[in-house]
């Protein structure tokens, strides 16, 4: 009888230890996640202050006296237009090719990232990307081209 009480007491202590350890691990993980989020948010704040979206060079247009374009010159022949001046078929084509769920997510496609991670893990190499159009824009405009986990996290934020 005394042995069964000791074993029950020992089992209770082990269960209590496991429970406290699990709570401590959860608390430590929460603190780590919040600290990481704070670090990335601080960096993102700095990036957003320095962000200039419209940096692409445009073509210089020369008009005649009637307002018609005579010619244009530039290192890159580019003219900015508003979204209203882009054909809906062009918008649909870009969305279909780059990010078919563009209008269904808020800039981060969790399922696309999970799919790409699964394909990459099975292949043992980077075979597929899960970036959205929004993430690609952030990468091109605000971040470096190097392929690091930190840059991918910043792009996701």
Q: What is the pLDDT of residues 5-60, one digit of tens each?
A: 666 677 788 888 999 999 999 899 999 888 877 777 677 666 666 666 656 667 77
Among residues 110, 156, 113, the alpha carbon closest in space to that of 134 is found at 156
Q: Say if residue 133 is exposed, middle or buried (CB neighbours under 10 Å; 0-12, 13-18, 19+).
A: middle
State which fold the 83-157 domain adopts.
Answer: Penicillin binding protein transpeptidase fold (1.10.3810)
Degrees to nearest 5, angle at CA 115 with 146 and 105: 85
Residue 45 has a pLDDT of: 65
Report field, pTM of the whole predicted structure over 0.75: no
Counted residue by residue, the chain has a size of 157
Q: Higher pLDDT residue, 157 or 89?
A: 89
Give the domain ranges of the chain: 1-50, 54-80, 83-157
């Amino acid at each position: 009888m005394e042995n069964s009480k000791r074993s029950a007491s020992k089992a209770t202590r082990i269960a209590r230890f496991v429970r406290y350890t699990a709570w401590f691990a959860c608390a430590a993980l929460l603190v780590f996640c919040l600290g990481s989020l704070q670090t990335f948010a601080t960096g993102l704040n700095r990036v957003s202050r320095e962000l200039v979206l419209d940096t692409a060079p445009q073509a210089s247009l020369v008009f005649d006296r009637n307002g018609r374009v005579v010619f244009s010159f530039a290192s890159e022949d580019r003219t900015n237009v508003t979204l209203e001046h882009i054909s809906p078929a062009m918008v649909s084509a870009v969305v279909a090719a780059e990010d078919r769920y563009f209008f269904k997510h808020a800039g981060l496609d969790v399922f696309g990232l999970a799919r790409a991670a699964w394909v990459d893990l099975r292949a043992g190499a980077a075979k597929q990307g899960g970036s959205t159009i929004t993430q690609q824009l952030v990468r091109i405009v605000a971040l470096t081209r190097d392929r690091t986990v930190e840059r991918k996290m910043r792009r996701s934020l």
